[in-house]
Amino acid sequence: QVQLVQSGAEVKEPGASVKLSCKASGFSFTTDFMHWVRQAPGQGLEWMGLINPNDGNTMYAQKLQGRVTMTRDTSTSTFYMELSTLRSEDTAVYYCARRLCRSTGCVYGGDAFDIWGQGTMVIVSS
């Protein structure tokens, strides 16, 4: 079935980096952009960025520019999100989420997120 399966929980020290994975199955890997969204404990959802699996082009949230890198491996249908220089405020559940376009086609800025991974908890603590 259509699903996104994410890697397991991580515990990192401040200043370290973390690289999470999101493996897609049940749909065409190259068809739809993949977004990353995070949620700090007890807080709301925060969009982090997206990657085009066709060419690897990315777009990141201004707040995370310079610290986040999104990549993909077409041979394994897997997306990756790496966040560097971790701070305590980066403690959150991280989700990957597949783009859904309008029935009439994809438009810039129109993405919804229809399939979500189960989430990966990242704890940043010394």
Partner 1 sequence: QSVLTQPPSVSGAPGQRVTISCTGSSSNIGAGYDVHWYQQLPGTAPKLLISGNTNRPSGVPDRFSGSKSGTSASLAITGLQAEDEADYYCQSYDSSLSGYVFGTGTKVAVL
d(CA 97, CA 89): 22
Residues 6 or more apart whose Cβ sits within 8 Å of residue 105: none
The single residue among 9, 102, 106, 125 that binds partner 1, judged by CB under 8 A, is: 102
Site for partner 1 contains 1 (CB under 8 A): no
Cβ neighbors of 73 (< 8 A, separation 6 or more) are 79, 80
By C-beta, is 103 or 126 nearer to partner 1?
103
Check residue 103 for interaction with partner 1 (CB under 8 A): yes
Q: Which is nearer to partner 1, 14 or 26 (CB)?
A: 26
- Of 47, 52, 67, 84, the one binding partner 1 by CB under 8 A: 47
| Chain positions contacting partner 1, by CB under 8 A | 35, 37, 44-47, 49-50, 59-62, 95, 97, 100, 102-103, 107-114, 116-119
